Amino acid sequence: MSYIVDFKNVSTVGIESSPVAEALAGLRANEARYFMNKYKHEFTVVPASESQETLDYVNRILKEERDLAFSSKPLETTRFQVEDIRMAYVFYEDGLALNVMYTVDSPKKRAVGFKLSEGMEVPQELEGKFKFARQKSKLAGTIRGSFFVIKGEYE
């Protein structure tokens, strides 16, 4: 069942099993607010168990670009297009929010982003491989984020 993320009344619906559920809910709401304000897009997530195609797409990019595979359980995903940007998100049980930004027209603007919920440790798969910048958010507290540029073609 899909869920439209409400960034005014933050809820842990769908991500209750996360040990940092409140922070992850804030991070998810922060993303929802961004897409509503910038693109007037309703950020709608579905359980990972109902979105194998999105998981396969994200996992393929992670594997082929950086030989990454996360051990944490994926809880929810979303996949959509705004303007010429295809977006895919995976929210993991450990508090990681991962997004794939893939511009249709410009191969120079394609990247995988990682955002860590407040209170979670850096996943061992990313430890020592990425530097994380800090960002303050009213909804999510302190977010640590990093990214890498996608070099290959993924449709």
Is residue 141 within 8 A of residue 151, CB to CB? The reply is: no
Residue 147 has, within 13 A of its CA and on its CB side, a CA count of 13
Buried b (16+ CB within 10 A) or exposed e, 108-143: eebebebbbbbebebbebbeeebeeeeeebebbbeb
Q: Please state, rounded to an integer, the average pLDDT across all residues of the chain.
A: 96
Is residue 48 within 8 A of residue 2, CB to CB? The reply is: no
- pLDDT reported for residue 1: 87
Strand arrangement, sheet containing 96-103: 3-4, 44-47, 74-82, 85-92, 96-103, 110-116, 141-149, 133-137
Tell me the per-residue pLDDT of 86-144, one tens digit each, with 9 for 90 and over: 999 999 999 999 999 999 988 889 999 999 999 999 999 999 999 999 999 999 999 99
Tell me the per-residue pLDDT of 35-70, one tens digit each, with 9 for 90 and over: 999 999 999 999 999 999 999 999 999 999 999 999
- pLDDT reported for residue 107: 84
Counting residues of the chain whose pLDDT is more than 90, the rounded percentage is 96
Is residue 90 within 8 A of residue 74, CB to CB? The reply is: yes
- pLDDT reported for residue 108: 85
- pLDDT reported for residue 155: 77
Q: How confident is the model over 59-82, as a mean pLDDT?
A: 98
The residue whose two tokens read 């850096």 is 122
